[in-house]
Amino acid sequence: LTGVCGDVLSTGGSGKGPGKQLRYKGVEKMAFQACIIEGNFDQDENAKLKKCLKQLPDCTFVLLKRQDDFNNEQIQTYSNLTRELSVYLSPGITFVKKGEELYKTGLLFNPEGEVFLKQQQLFINQQDEEMGFVAGSMINIARTEYGNIGFIIGEDCWHPEVGRFLALEGVDLVLAFNEIETGSYWQQLAGIWSQVQQNQFFAMEVSRGGRDLIHGPCEITPYRTGILAPVGDEQKALGSKPDKYLEFSGTVDGISIFEDLKVTWARIDLNRLKEIRESYPLLKHLNPVLYQKSGPEELFTLRGGSRNEP
């Protein structure tokens, strides 16, 4: 896992590298299916997933909701599976040791079975620190025929600069993995949902303790909830507070059950994303002069009981 395969850009603040030419270059498929699969993966994982994904023939991006970290044998299994089914698949976060340093790392396999994108967690909370993890310092983006892909993992989900940097580097779809206190839906909305809304990309979020959600800008989602899937009851979406909607007691679309696997799925349409970015160009109205005048310390250093700096 030390090498990165595929067409991956480790961006260094843009303007310097190939990131400038990224947007839509080489994007051939503007719409595709994406799904998050949750279930008991303890036994016979490969067979279960194969069976499930064969029933979702159009599914291109697959995220698994499973425990963090996986061994080499499992990595080989995912590699074989993605090659066989011709999908992009992320089993989530694994722990990667580089020298003496241990990183929480998101992995994405491509349809050729390669580890196509790796992203180290960028913000390390106290719990991560106690477990010996250190923070990464670069953002990686994978260029695919389905748009530009990036990761937001763990604590990073609540650090809006991560989504901002990804968006400014041209990301279209974010793969997110996190954990929250069970049922803390407001906390969940303060994370990836908020990053999607202020940056205008799609996101597939696997949340232990929360809901598995596929997000998009409010304007292009049912009832303008910012959630593409699952789709709940309209009354709850428009008549209750968001935490009540996220209970999804009246789900009408976007969830399927295959034996003991629960699949949250949605169709992701990059044309619609392009439309909303053009009609409501949020990033265009950023104010870099203000940010530079304020200084990076004011913009990026969270004060309080400030802690680690890698």
Sites for another protein among residues 3-32 (CB under 8 A): 12-16, 19-20, 22-23
Indicate whether 291 belongs to the interface with another protein (CB under 8 A). Answer: yes
Nearer to another protein, 67 or 301 (CB): 301
Stretch that binds another protein, among 1-9, 100-108, 223-231, 246-254 (CB under 8 A): 223-231
Q: H/E element holding 164? A: helix 160-168
SS3 content of the chain, % helix, strand, coil (to 5): 35, 30, 35
Number of residues that bind another protein (CB under 8 A): 81
Is 139 one of the binding residues for another protein (CB under 8 A)?
yes
Within residues 165-194, the interface with another protein by CB under 8 A covers 165, 168-170, 184, 186-187, 189-190, 194
Q: How far apart are CA 309 and CA 195, in angstroms?
A: 23
Report the site for another protein in 242-261 (rule: CB under 8 A). 242-243
- Whole-angstrom distance, CA of residue 121 vs CA of residue 156: 7
Which residues, including other chains, have CB under 8 Å from residue 122's CB and lie 6 or more apart? Answer: 135, 136, 137, 139, 156, 159, 162
DSSP string covering 104-152, please? EEEEEE-TTS-EEEEEE-S---HHHHHTTB-----EEEEEETTEEEEEE
Collapsing DSSP states into helix, strand and coil, what is residue 24? coil
**DSSP label of 109:** E
Considering beta carbons, is residue 26 or 112 the nearer one to another protein?
26
Phi and psi of 250, rounded to 5°? -120, 55
Residue 194 buriedness (CB in 10 A; 0-12 / 13-18 / 19+): middle
Does residue 289 interact with another protein by CB under 8 A? yes
Among 28, 100, 130, 278, binds another protein (CB under 8 A): 278
Cβ-based nearer residue to another protein, 60 or 197: 197
Question: Interaction with another protein in 32-61: which residues (CB under 8 A)?
Answer: none
Indicate the residue among 44 and 280 with the shorter CB distance to another protein: 280
Could you tell me whether strands 261-269 and 227-229 are parallel, antiparallel, or unpaired per DSSP bridges?
unpaired
One-letter amino acid of 163: G
Question: In angstroms, what is the minimal distance from the CB of 253 to another protein?
Answer: 17
Region from 96-104, 228-236, 258-266, 294-302 binding another protein, contact rule CB under 8 A: 294-302
The structure tokens listed for 293 are: 């005048």
The residues in 78-107 that bind another protein, with binding defined as CB under 8 A, are: none
Among 1, 131, 138, 257, binds another protein (CB under 8 A): 138
Stretches 30-38, 78-86, 204-212, 273-281: which one binds another protein (CB under 8 A)?
A: 273-281
Contact criterion met (CB below 8 Å) for 267 and 31 = yes
Residue closer to another protein by CB (options 110, 178) is 178
Residue 277 within binding range of another protein, rule CB under 8 A:
yes
For position 76 contacting another protein by CB under 8 A, the verdict is no
Task: Check residue 207 for interaction with another protein (CB under 8 A).
Answer: no
What one-character-per-residue DSSP string does 272-300 give? HHHHHHHHS-TGGG--HHHHHHH-HHHHH
Q: Judged by CB under 8 A, which stretch of 38-46, 204-212, 258-266, 285-293 contacts another protein?
A: 285-293
CB of 202 to another protein, least distance (A): 16
Q: Report how far residue 29's alpha carbon sits from residue 16's, in angstroms, rounded to the nearest whole number.
A: 27
**d(Cα 227, Cα 207) in Å, to the nearest integer?**
14
Kindly state whether residue 125 participates in binding another protein, applying the rule CB under 8 A: yes
